[in-house]
Structure 1
Amino acid sequence: MVVLLVLGVILLAAAVALMALALRTDEEARGVNRSLAVLQAMGSAPRELSRDLERPFADRVVEPLRARALAIGRRLTGADSAERIRSRLDAAGNPAGWSVDRVVSGKVLCAGLGLVVGIVVAVLLGASFLPGVAVTLAGLVVGFFGPDLYLYQRGYDRAERLRRDLPDAIDLMTISVEAGLGFDAAVQQVAHHTAGPLAEEFVRMLREMQLGKSRTQALRGLAERCNVDDVRTFVSAMVQADSFGIPIAQVLRVQAGEMRIKRRQRAETKAQQVPVKITVPLVFFILPCLFIPVMGPALLTMMDNL
């Protein structure tokens, strides 16, 4: 009886195992069949249905997010902000990939990023309610005005580079004109043999003249884009010389002398500003270091006597 009971239990367990194996194999087969059916459906689906799945991540996620940020940014910045941003982009040299819409959307995205960073910093510092709110708002404001600050700094650096390169460019232009070249050919020589933002502006001016603009219009466009006093003075002199028929070589020679004088005056001005600018680090950083070895022993002696 015991042997028959054990044999029955073994047979029952074997039957249950075989049934479970059969069910599992059937379920796996059905799963594989469903996967194959999905793949076949995707392969035979119309192009319009599978086009969204084939688009890259930037087109599916980043571009819609940027479009929403652009709509929000246009409401926040106002209607006249496009011209101001465009002028800043011209002053900064129109960086690659930067446009008015990208700057507006970037302001909103950077504001959101600054808000998140501010919250994280407030949590890490363990600040209370008011300091935490202040840190969060500071991150929001810095993020929102971050692209504007970047464009301003890049425009300022570019203006300084233009102001520094203009005298040498006028000297080269004067030599080219006196050697027999015309003004346009002299500008082309300067653009070809120099590098930097001034050469890029000269190249753009020549292309505008090739597209149909007059020399006066191209020069005035150069002055508006650069927004540098020396460049405006040079453009005004060239426009007047072109209008009144004054020899270009004589005007260029006078402009070269004035630019050299202005450059020397700017260097003298910066040299005279050095004593004033060095006062703050001298008082707060250098003098305390000198007081320690000079006054330290005397203070220690006074403390011992008292």
Structure 2
Amino acid sequence: MFVIAASLGVMVTIFVLAIMYLFKEDETVDDRLKKYTGSEDEKRLREEELDESFWERVLKPVVEKVSTFFIKFTPSGIKDNLRRRLILAGNPLGLGVKEFLALQGSLILILPGGLFITLFFLGAEAKVLFTFSLLTAISALIIPIFLLGKKISERQSQIQRSLPDVLDLLTVSVEAGLGFDAALVKVVDKVSGPISEEFERLLQEIRMGKPRRDAMRDLGKRTNVDDLTKFITSIVQADKLGVSIGKVLRVQSDQIRQRRRQRAEATAMKAPVKMLLPLILFIFPTIFIVLLGPAVIKIMNSFSGMN
């Protein structure tokens, strides 16, 4: 009986192990097939690719290839200057040097080519074709640079206009007992615009371990606004000498408001000079026509009556 029971136990154990082995072998084969066919990975990659935008799937690879071509033939000095101007503009649309050069190069290739083909099918002469294509290529080269310069001016103007109010908020926050970094957090929460974005980046750099003085100097280089640069210099000196930041903020706020008032007065003084040219070209001739027109007509009628 013992031998029979032991034999049955061994047989059952072997049977169970055989079934487990068969199932394990099937699972291994399926996994191996999935590994070689890559059906799940391929499906997942296809879904991730379809979830991306048209820019990421189609346009961005083309832009990268075009930018690689143009970056090779662009001098390093021009690239450094362009990188600095893009930083001053706040990197609009997330454009870097490669993307900007690719955009500029694409415009130089596409616009003149499209105009050339259009004029060719319209039957234009060869001189007209090459002249207009050349002018279009020059325009495609200049327009992105002009728009970038305009963006820089607008951003600096926004920072300069909002700086006095931001300094008032900083002054009130510091005088209420907050630290300078906490006051900057308050500004980021309450104020919107480029200056808030720059202060937020300043706080991120400080949290990552960058010294406050270096981070604030980099802020001045990124914006290149005179009032903000003077404010940063005053804060750095106060931090170095141990002067009360609240008093420095109060003084800087008053000085910046005074400088803004002076700029407004200077702009108002320039208004008569700027109005002189439209007066001479457009308004004075109209006044002369209205005032002297009837007299000239009467004189002409009197001379015609005498004849």
TM-score of the pair, normalised by structure 1: 0.75
Q: How far 1:225 moved relative to its partner?
A: 0.4
1:281 to 2:278 alignment: yes
The 5 Å alignment of 1:1-306 reads 62-63=59-60, 65-116=62-113, 118-119=115-116, 130=127, 133-304=130-301, 305=303
Q: Please give the per-residue CA displacement for 1:164-221, whole angstroms capped at 9, x wherever unaligned.
A: 1111111111111111111111111111111111111111101111111111111011
Which moves more between the two structures, 94-103 or 296-305? 296-305
Q: How far 1:71 moved relative to its partner?
A: 3.1
How far apart, CA to CA, are the structure 1 residues paired with 2:162 and 2:55?
A: 40
Aligned counterpart, 2:26:
none
* Alpha-carbon spacing, 1:127–1:62, altered in 2? closer, same or farther (3 Å): same
How far apart, CA to CA, are the structure 2 residues paired with 1:125 and 1:170?
A: 61
How far apart, CA to CA, are the structure 1 residues paired with 2:299 and 2:119?
A: 46
Q: Please give the per-residue CA displacement for 1:214-266, whole angstroms capped at 9, x wherever unaligned.
A: 11111011101001111110111111111111111111111111101101001
* Alpha-carbon spacing, 1:191–1:123, altered in 2? closer, same or farther (3 Å): same
**Secondary structure at the counterpart of residue 100 of structure 2:** helix
* Alpha-carbon spacing, 1:196–1:70, altered in 2? closer, same or farther (3 Å): same
How far apart, CA to CA, are the structure 2 residues paired with 1:120 and 1:232?
A: 51
How far apart, CA to CA, are the structure 2 residues paired with 1:285 and 1:75?
A: 51
How far apart, CA to CA, are the structure 2 residues paired with 1:178 and 1:49?
A: 60
User: Is the CA contact (8 Å cut-off) linking 1:170 and 1:252 kept in structure 2?
Assistant: yes
Which moves more between the two structures, 150-159 or 110-119? 110-119
Indicate the percent of aligned positions where both proteins have the same amino acid.
Answer: 36
Give the alignment's Cα RMSD to 1 decimal. 3.0
Length, aligned pairs only = 262
How far apart, CA to CA, are the structure 1 residues paired with 2:284 and 2:114?
A: 38
* Alpha-carbon spacing, 1:229–1:118, altered in 2? closer, same or farther (3 Å): farther
* Alpha-carbon spacing, 1:118–1:76, altered in 2? closer, same or farther (3 Å): farther
Structure 1 counterpart of 2:268, one-letter code = A
Which moves more between the two structures, 275-284 or 202-211? 275-284
Structure 2 counterpart of 1:212, one-letter code = G
Q: How far 1:66 moved relative to its partner?
A: 2.3
How far apart, CA to CA, are the structure 2 residues paired with 1:49 and 1:195?
A: 44
How far apart, CA to CA, are the structure 2 residues paired with 1:67 and 1:202?
A: 31
